[in-house]
Amino acid sequence: MTVLLNDTLTWQDVARVSNGDGLALSEAAWHRIDNAHRIVESIVERGIRAYGINTGVGALSDTVVDRGAQSKLSRSIILSHACGVGPLVPRREVRAIMASQIANFAHGYSGVRRQIVAHLATFLERDCVPDVPARGSAGYLTHNAHTALVLIGEGSAHIGGRAFGGRDALAEIGLEPLVLGAKEGLSLVNGTACATGLSSVALDRAARLLDWADAIAALTLEAAGCQMPAYSEPVLSLRVSDGIAAVGAALRARLEGSSLIEAAQGRRTQDALSLRSIPHAHGAARDLFDNCAAVVDRELASVTDNPAVAGTPEEPLVWSEAHAVAPALAQAADALAIAITQITAMSERRIDRLVNPLVSGLPPFLASDPGSHSGFMIAQYTAAALANENRRLAAPASTDGGLTSGLQEDFLAHPTAAANKLLALLDNAEYILAIEWLAATQAHDFVETQARRAAGTDVLYRHLRAEVSHYSDDRPIAADMEKVRLLLSQSAPPRCSDRG
């Protein structure tokens, strides 16, 4: 499959490309790219003073670079900015960054040649993934620079799992190294493509996670014998929220026809908050998700290069601005991270209610032979540790400080750091929900003789049991957790109607 870029991309488009789809540009997009490049050529020809075209960058913006050295300037920007450290960014995220960068160039305000964009599109088509160190970026520069290294035959990349030097990687996919022209080095490291691509991947994962959170919570509610009136439409409609309404409807659909729920009616006056407020926490996350998605889509629809070129080759315009700064993107990623953290904290509390003999009404720690078996006792420890790590990761990046480039860049929004924290937090969230799914399924092994499950929860129970058998302290439970985490990270939860 191939995504077509005409006017702009959406976060869903970027997510598709990150997962392996190609990216093609319409004739209108190529025309915008070509026109912007002609404007840059005119600026160079006329000697119009323009940041990053014929001046240095950052604190060197007042240093004029003569025409003969402008190509050297572009190359040196790439080499000097490629200073990331640490483990490599995963393939999926690098593909998302490249797709977002192509979208930025296609707006027609950057001025790079079409060969630059064509090379990046070929990288996506042939799955040539530049090696991009994950750490060391205060904004976007280092990640983008390591991608650009391969364009000029430097750096390194992976193709089909095989490692190549930059020049050899280009040869492997039938390309030659590029000699950069005026402004191209700056445009290749500039803009918010890095944070936007990472945020698009995070949204794709978060959307799936939110569906799983609702589904797994329903399985727990049934095992715990929840009091269903708290999740009814009239009750939930008292609090105005599209997210609460959606979660309430999802829970009711999963639990419809449950004899276990019917048998538990009136057992308690009300459930604990980790059960009763599922629609509120999950619903708040859904409302924030919609806001974050809108912010990322606006980012993709925006020009985030600096400077921006406009006008015509006959009457060129060049504008120095701050569109590469993305406070809204950082704030959105931070907010979604906080919402996901609340969901994982609540999930961990539900796990405890399933394993804790003081409140569960089930065998202690869901052990098949309490005493000689520990069951899910330490799995709950793992969930607690991950939930606590998420609380630390939820501290906002958008309020961080930092002064760079000799006081020229004296405000940093940190959208890349915010997106990276969100991705790390989602890793933990998937494990926590996997543990809850395992624990809730184990709990159902003990209650299924009492009454019948709902069709919507039975499909979840059977889906997991097709992969993992009842746990009897007969194997390392970590392997089960890894298998189930992979299952929920790669697919949507089975629908209520999927029961076989």
| The pLDDT value given to residue 408 | 58
pLDDT tens readout for residues 224-241: 999 999 999 999 999 999
The set of residues, in sequence order, having a beta carbon less than 8 Å from that of 239 and lying 6+ positions away, is: 280
Give the pLDDT confidence score for residue 62 in this predicted structure. 56
Residue 242 has pLDDT above 50, yes or no: yes
Residue 473 has pLDDT above 70, yes or no: yes
Token pair listed for 426: 């989602």
CATH code matching the domain that covers 199-306+325-498, chosen among 2.60.120.10, 3.40.50.360, 1.20.200.10, 1.10.540.10: 1.20.200.10
- Dihedral of CA atoms 86, 90, 94, 96 in degrees, nearest 10, equals -140
Q: How far is CA 156 from the centre of its chain?
A: 24
Q: Which pLDDT tens digit goes with each residue over 260-284?
A: 999 999 988 999 999 999 999 999 9
Instruction: Determine how β-strand 316-319 pairs with β-strand 308-311.
Output: antiparallel
Residue 442: predicted pLDDT = 98
Q: What pLDDT score was predicted for residue 428?
A: 98
**Tally of residues, the chain:** 500
Residue listed under structure tokens 């598709």:
16
pLDDT for the residue numbered 324: 85
**Whether the domain at 2-190 and the domain at 199-306+325-498 fall into the same CATH topology:** no
Region 357-378 average pLDDT? 91
Does 21 score more than 60 pLDDT? yes
| pLDDT (mean) for 398-415 | 68
pLDDT tier for residue 389 given thresholds of 50, 70 and 90: very high
Q: State the helix-helix crossing angle for 193-224 and 415-447, rounded to 10 degrees.
A: 20
Burial of 396 (0-12, 13-18, 19+ CB in 10 A): middle
Instruction: Check residue 272 and give left, alpha or beta (phi > 0: left; psi -120 to 50: alpha).
Output: beta
Mean of the pLDDT values across residues 216-222? 98
Distances (CA, A) of 132 to 91, 140, 163, 425: 9, 12, 13, 21
Closest to 95 in 3D by CA, of 186, 245, 196 = 196
Q: Hey, is 158 helix, strand or coil?
A: strand
pLDDT at residue number 24: 98
- Six token digits for residue 61: 């913006």
The hierarchical CATH code for the domain 2-190 is: 1.10.275.10
**Which residues have a catalytic role annotated?**
51
What residues pair up with 2 in beta bridges, in sequence order?
A: 22
Task: Quick: pLDDT tens for 59-91.
Answer: 555 555 556 666 788 898 899 989 999 999 999
Highest mean pLDDT among 54-68, 315-329, 402-416, 464-478: 464-478
* Sequence ranges of the domains in the chain: 2-190, 199-306+325-498
Q: What whole-number distance in Å separates Cα of residue 36 and Cα of residue 16?
A: 28
One-letter identity of residue 360: S
Q: What is the pLDDT of residue 17?
A: 98
Residue 47 binned pLDDT confidence (cut-offs 50, 70, 90): confident
Tokens for 232, please give them.
């009814």
Which positions ≥6 away from 480 have C-beta within 8 Å?
A: 438, 468, 471
Q: Does 322 have pLDDT greater than 90?
A: no
> Considering the entire predicted model, what is its pTM?
0.95
Does an H or E element contain 177, and which?
none
Q: Over the stretch 243-259, which tens digit does the pLDDT of each residue have?
A: 999 999 999 999 999 99
The H or E element that residue 328 is part of is helix 327-355
The predicted structure's pLDDT at residue 500? 46
Amino acid identity of residue 8, one-letter, is: T
Res 57 pLDDT > 80: no
Largest CA distance in the chain: 84
pLDDT digits (tens, 9 = 90+) for 132-151: 999 877 767 889 999 999 99
What's the mean per-residue pLDDT of the chain? 92
Helices 477-490 & 377-393 angle (0-180, nearest 10):
50
pLDDT higher than threshold 70 for residue 476: yes
The tokens 């005026």 sit on which residue?
Answer: 182
* pLDDT above 80 (res 499): no
Instruction: Tell me the mean pLDDT in the region 384-413.
Output: 80
Q: Is the peptide bond before 307 cis (omega within 30 degrees of 0)?
A: yes
Burial grade of 17 (CB within 10 A; 0-12, 13-18, 19 or more):
buried
What SS3 state is found at 396? coil
Q: How far apart are CA 299 and CA 46, in angstroms?
A: 32
Q: What is the DSSP string of 85-139?
A: EEEEPPHHHHHHHHHHHHHHHHTS-S---HHHHHHHHHHHHHTEEE--EEE--SS
Instruction: Evaluate whether 98 touches 116 at the Cβ level (below 8 Å).
Output: no
Q: How far is CA 105 from CA 8, 215, 303, 306, 396, in A?
A: 10, 41, 8, 12, 30
Q: If you search the block for the tokens 């919570």, which residue do you land on?
A: 217
How far apart CA 340 and CA 189 sit, in angstroms, is: 31
Among candidates 33, 38, 34, 29, which has minimal Cα distance to 3? 29
Nearest alpha-carbon partner for 339 in 391, 415, 383: 391
Percent of the chain topping pLDDT 90 = 79
- Which parts of 277-326 fold into alpha helices (H)? 278-300
